[in-house]
Amino acid sequence: MNKTRFLPIAALTVLATLGGCAHKPVAYDYTAFRQANPKTLLVMPPINESPEVKAGASVWAQATLPLAEAGYYVLPVTLVDETFHQNGIDTADDAQNIPREKLRDFFGADAAVYIKVTKYGTSYNVLASETVVQAQARIIDLRSGALLWEGRAVASSAEQGNGGGNLAVMLVSAVVKQIINTTTDAAYNFAGIADSRLLGAPHYNGVLAGPRSPAYGKDPETH
């Protein structure tokens, strides 16, 4: 199985069969992003749509790093989490429903990153067990409410391939891997990869580089 590189949805290269040619998606419109020019980001607690209770925390814990490396000042997750708890906000849904004006007044951030985890964990698929983390995100200007950017990304153990082999061995191996990966939370590492692909910069049609990045003001990579 060939390795596949996953990037934010806006960055996914779509292969369109039209006269045998491959076409890139239309370039993302960064007009609102550039006008807002955010410097400080607040990463909100992710909404978890997967059956794994630890999915939101795992994705949230690793979401600030790619944004910081992209050139933004990102409010620490521990500080944000404690602030919410002290103010009676104990769920991601409640946090993401807070009016942007209040978030702006309280945290002083220019924009907020709203994340949703749609897949997280290890599943058994007959001949192989696969660990997958998939998430999507929106960046909202806390001053105007404008949508600055949105995208999604996925990271999967299937990218590594299974190498083929004896059928009986593969069946047993798949079950063993599922047990080990589930008990050790192997998805945590893939959450970091998904976060990097989702929020790192520069990527084609991905998040723009922030003011502390050497790539600031330049178009995201086109390859």
For residue 213, give the nearest of 70, 74, 75, 110 by alpha carbon: 70
Residue 97, pLDDT > 60, answer yes
Q: Compute the CA torsion angle 167, 168, 169, 171 (nearest 10 deg).
A: 90
59 in Cβ contact with 190 (< 8 Å):
no
In tens, the pLDDT along 176-192 reads 444 444 444 579 999 99
Superfamily of domain 9-199: ABC-type transport auxiliary lipoprotein component (3.40.50.10610)
Q: Where are the domains of the chain?
A: 9-199
* pLDDT of res. 189: 92
Query: What's the pLDDT band for 220 if we cut at 50, 70, 90?
Result: confident
The CA radius of gyration of the chain, in Å to the nearest whole number, is 19
* pLDDT of res. 202: 87
In tens, the pLDDT along 46-75 reads 999 999 999 999 999 999 999 999 999 999
In tens, the pLDDT along 38-47 reads 999 999 999 9
Planar angle of CA 170, 174, 178, nearest 5 degrees? 170
* pLDDT of res. 172: 39
CA 208 – CA 156 distance, rounded (Å): 25
Q: When comparing pLDDT for 216 and 168, which is higher?
A: 216
In tens, the pLDDT along 136-162 reads 999 999 999 999 999 999 999 877 654
Query: What's the pLDDT band for 25 if we cut at 50, 70, 90?
Result: confident
